[in-house]
Structure 1
Amino acid sequence: MRWGVLGASAAISRRVMPAIAAGGPTTLAAVAGRPQSAARTTEVAAAYGARAHHDYGALLADPAIEAVYIALPNSEHVGWTLRALDAGKHVLVEKPMALSEADAVRVQEAADAARRTVMEAFMYRFHPQQRRAADLLASGEIGDLRVVRASFAFLMGAAPGDIRLAPGLGGGATWDVGCYAVDAAMLHFGRAPRAVRAVLSRRPGADVDTSGTVLLDFGEGRSAVLDHSMDYGPRSWMELQGTHGSITIRNAWAGADEDGTLTVLGYAGTREESVPAADHYRLQVLALTDAARAGTPAPIPLSDSLRTVRVLEAVFASAADDGAAVPVAEEGTG
């Protein structure tokens, strides 16, 4: 499958482009950047033997491109996903796919109408350590899941022009890293919470949230306790607490070159399992490619993306109401 990438940032060129250009069933055929970044786009494209487009629309008009990776600011994800679908492309779009449930529904409807595959790029789901944790949970070794605890945080300086600090571009710690913990909690519980409580804060001078603590109530004594931040760290940790034990993922959002370590604690004792590193960026690209070729649902369905953004909207609503409980509508009820 011939891929194009919208966005030529350093992070994307270092992590995602190699995953597409690795050969086999995928080829990185084109890279698009802004007109004012023409030199950078040309340099990045040349490094992968790809064509350079100095306008995102020009890449979408390229008939050779079958699928696109959208790596633009959060506020641009929906618009360019819709344009890509209109151009007949499959889409792998950076998280968050959308900043509102209404926009996520627009994407889902457009994907259905275009008969193209769209998937949100929660690459952590494809790391073998996450899959091993899910298998252990499903085995019943720690009993019934009762609590998910997760933390994803890093210390980010006040970098001028950083899009993660720009409110108009969908910036803020919740959209940047908090979404991972929220998505992971629902992934392991297999459903949305009944209600959300959240407290968000801003560092002095910031116009977006830079730290947050979130409580998700799944009912029947089940909950998730999450924190995320751009004010402290590093922290990348998750614990699945069951009735008979727990599974701890030491580096829950590991990089493509980092091994995983799981600690399983139960009444019979404690053991550690090592999971070899794997390029989860490559694995998600292959997953989207396989689904698009076969016409089968993406491994991360759009129903999951709708669920995640619905809950994240509730996070912001709760924080705006001094941490009051905000109910979450059942899936399909809006």
Structure 2
Amino acid sequence: MHDGFEALLADPDVDAVYIALPNSEHVPWTLRALEAGKHVLCEKPLALSVADVERVAAAAGGLTVMEAYMYRFHPQQRRVVELLASRVIGELRVVRAAFAGVMDPVGNIRYDPSLGGGATWDVGCYAFDVPLWAFGRAPERVRARFHSEGGAPVDTSGVATLDFGGGRVAQIDYGFDYGPCARYELQGTRGWIGVRNAWTGPDEECVITVVTDEGRSEEVLAGADAYEHQAAAFAEAVRTGRTPLMSLDDSKRTARVGEALVEAARTGADVSL
């Protein structure tokens, strides 16, 4: 046991740390950990701005920093990536993603704007991360509308359209004030892939649906702990020095989209990236 975070970072036997503090504390403690020579696995969002991700990247040197989008490491997610790459549904054109669940605001850090709260930087991150990896790039422009249930000091839900150009688009919704839902769909020119529980728990069965002109099929995968797979992947990146699956370039793109959604909701206008 250590008497505070500073003592933990000062321990020479500690090689890496996992930062699961409120959003506003991610960058300060990531920078302190890097200064202490520790590798960092940091909960999403790593940062609330591109500028802060760039600060982290500049401080990292030869150390590994990975943003913790745990679902990307789940066997279900890896299988979907394989299916998409196989072009079984043709060219990807539309992504639909939704992640929401009712949360009690009492004592909940997600409702505190000083701690980086709000639905967009919590469940929304997962929803808009889906089209980012699926299309493999940032959108050209975004449009967003936020809602604050009961006059909450943060956004409690949001809907957004991300335009990737060339007829490629993503439609997402997320929130704390409705639900539950946790699904996404990848619509291609020859069919679609659906994941009914995209952010699945360790004991939940995983079902992937594929529909094409040739028919409908379902793949059922056993439950797995995404956090366990994430930790193993992070440890491997630390040991080998290889760029992790969720790279700092990915984190810059994610922060850029999050900033754009906030700006689009604030102004009521499309925001170009």
User: TM-score if structure 2 supplies the norm length?
Assistant: 0.98
Q: Which string of whole-angstrom CA distances, capped at 9 and with x for unpartnered residues, describes residues 215-270 of structure 1?
A: 00000000000000000010001000000000000101111222210111111111
2:31 to 82, 89, 96: 82
- 1:54 maps to what in 2? 3
Moved over 4 A (4+): none
Give the number of equivalent residue pairs: 273
Q: Please give the alpha-carbon distance, in whole angstroms, between the structure 2 residues aligned to 1:255 and 1:126.
A: 13
Q: 3-state DSSP class of the match of 1:175?
A: coil
1:148 to 92, 95, 98: 95
Q: Please give the alpha-carbon distance, in whole angstroms, between the structure 2 residues aligned to 1:227 and 1:208.
A: 16
Q: Write out aligned runs for 1:315-326 (5 A).
A: 315-322=261-268, 324-326=269-271
Q: Does 1:201 align with 2:172?
A: no
Q: Please give the alpha-carbon distance, in whole angstroms, between the structure 2 residues aligned to 1:202 and 1:303.
A: 31
Larger Rg: 1
Amino acid at match of 1:274: V
Q: 3-state DSSP class of the match of 2:150?
A: coil
Q: Does 1:98 align with 2:47?
A: yes
How far off its partner does 1:54 sit?
A: 3.2
2:179 to 228, 233, 244: 233
How far off its partner does 1:204 sit?
A: 1.2
Q: 3-state DSSP class of the match of 1:132?
A: helix
Q: Does 1:327 align with 2:272?
A: yes
Structure 1, unaligned stretches of length 5 or more? 1-51, 329-334
How far off its partner does 1:55 sit?
A: 1.2
- 2:157 maps to what in 1? 211
Structure 2, unaligned stretches of length 5 or more? none
Amino acid at match of 1:79: P
Q: Please give the alpha-carbon distance, in whole angstroms, between the structure 1 residues aligned to 2:7 and 2:149.
A: 40
How far off its partner does 1:131 sit?
A: 1.0
- 1:167 maps to what in 2? 113
Q: Please give the alpha-carbon distance, in whole angstroms, between the structure 1 residues aligned to 2:29 and 2:211.
A: 45
User: TM-score if structure 1 supplies the norm length?
Assistant: 0.81
Q: Which string of whole-angstrom CA distances, capped at 9 and with x for unpartnered residues, describes residues 265-312 of structure 1?
A: 111111111011111111111111111111111121100000000011
2:68 to 121, 127, 133: 121
RMSD between aligned residues? 0.8
Q: Percent identity?
A: 58
Q: 3-state DSSP class of the match of 2:198?
A: coil
How far off its partner does 1:157 sit?
A: 1.9
1:157 to 93, 96, 104: 104
Q: 3-state DSSP class of the match of 1:291?
A: helix
